[in-house]
Amino acid sequence: MRFDLIPNFNPGETIPWDQALSMLREQTSLAEAAGFTTAWFTEHHFAHNGYMNAPPNPIQMCTHIAAHCQKIRVGTCPIVLPDWHPLRVAEDIAMLDNMTLGRVDFGVAKGINERATIQFNKNADRRDNSKAMRLYLESLEIILKAWTNEAFTHKGEFYEFPVPGWQETNRFFQPLDPRYHAEDGEYTAMYVHPRPFQQAHPPVWLMSNAPPTFEMAGSKGYGVISMSSAPKRTLACWDPYREALSKARGFEAIRGEGVGVCTAFYVGESMEEAERTIRPAINAYYEFLGGSRPAGEWTKNGYLDLGEEMTATDNNDDWFDFLNKRGIIVVGSIEYVIEKFSQSQQTFGLDHLVLMQQYTGVPYSKILASWDRLCEHVVPHFGTQSISQKRDTANA
């Protein structure tokens, strides 16, 4: 199984960022020593109360961690593309890919409806979800074209490159290259540098729980990372992905290949200690989420499996018990965590875990102890190579 991580960034409390960075480095170093593949870094802004105290710039965060680690890959989880200028993203990720000699995973998403998006780009306002999706897909198209075309041009709904009407006056570009300039000096195509280190570019990962996104990603050979959900809901995304990926590649993909699941976990000293430590944080977080969506998709009903009905027991359960017994979060003893990961592996082919511990009110010493128990006892039970990594190693 492939193991990745999103290091704990101390949500819920505003601490000096030099301390937060030290914690992020410490957790990533543990994961690197245990053979994890990628450390992923999220993007959040304007956390005045410290709750979403994530790094605001995942590219910058990846650069910092990669400079302190020698082997582990770094990934953006995600770059919220509608809030960025796509050519800046193309340049910065390609530069990072060269700095790390190809240790970059490029994760992107449209983003959720929150106050931050419109501050960067009025076209990114998620209250018009269709428009935001079109902007997201056009931005990704631009980035991939910029990485793979020597003479890059683009004309779409939101962007046109080069911007029409620029006449070249810089003498250092004389004589004018006909690939990039018309005879009268008009700028007609662009060279975006640097080129990525990886050929043809870093792996693309979409962050989504929507079946249509999975199908589209499979048809293009992208990976997808989703938040943990019930088995049938997971397969409703994975099966269209597998079909599309198999068709695109011309040979049968294995279920679980190319897809990862982001799962909140905690490995405790015992079941009792794990539940006692994490239950309050889970209950507070999901109670908050459940009231934040006007359509109610983040209430308990949104976490039921396909065809499953809410029972009286489900209604009476707190969020911790409701989620943990379904494996949507995995919190317990070493033996319990191994058992739950094994069940997911056997039930629907789980082969790639992105693990995180973003719990408010939990001491960092306990977060670190959980990582230690995971790396020492859980990870060796499974090994650290995914299906595709094993295949690539065998074919090398």
- All structural domains of the chain, each given as residue ranges with its CATH number in brackets, are 2-158+193-262+333-395 (3.20.20.30)
Residue 49, pLDDT score? 77
Residue 287, pLDDT score? 86
Distance CA 170, CA 365 (A): 58
Q: What is the pLDDT of residues 187-246, one digit of tens each?
A: 999 999 999 999 999 999 999 999 999 999 999 999 999 999 999 999 999 999 999 999
**Residue 389 pLDDT exceeds 90:** no
Q: What is the pLDDT of residues 263-307, one digit of tens each?
A: 999 999 999 999 999 999 999 989 877 655 555 557 899 999 999
Nearest to 115 by CA among 124, 102, 105, 107: 124
Residue 133 near residue 117 (C-beta atoms within 8 A): no
Phi/psi for 292 (5° steps) reads: -100, -5
Mean pLDDT, residues 37-46: 95
**Residue 248 pLDDT exceeds 90:** yes
Residue 392, pLDDT score? 75
The CA–CA distances, whole Å, from 183 to 154, 262, 286 equal 20, 53, 61
Mean pLDDT, residues 11-33: 94
CB atoms within 10 A of CB 64: 18
Distance CA 15, CA 53 (A): 9
Residue 191, pLDDT score? 97
Residue 291, pLDDT score? 55
Tell me the residue type at 368: L
Mean residue pLDDT of the chain comes to 94
Mean pLDDT, residues 82-86: 97
Mean pLDDT, residues 82-105: 98
Which pair of tokens denotes residue 96?
């990072």
Residue 386, pLDDT score? 87
Mean pLDDT, residues 346-355: 95
Q: In Å, how far from its chain's centre is CA 44?
A: 13
| Share of residues in the chain with pLDDT > 90 (%) | 85
Mean pLDDT, residues 3-22: 93
**Residue 111 pLDDT exceeds 60:** yes
Confidence of residue 324 (pLDDT cuts 50, 70, 90): very high
| Exposed / middle / buried, residue 265 (Cβ in 10 Å: 0-12, 13-18, 19+) | buried
Residue 297, pLDDT score? 58
Residue 29 near residue 375 (C-beta atoms within 8 A): no
Residue 104, pLDDT score? 98
Residue 133, pLDDT score? 95
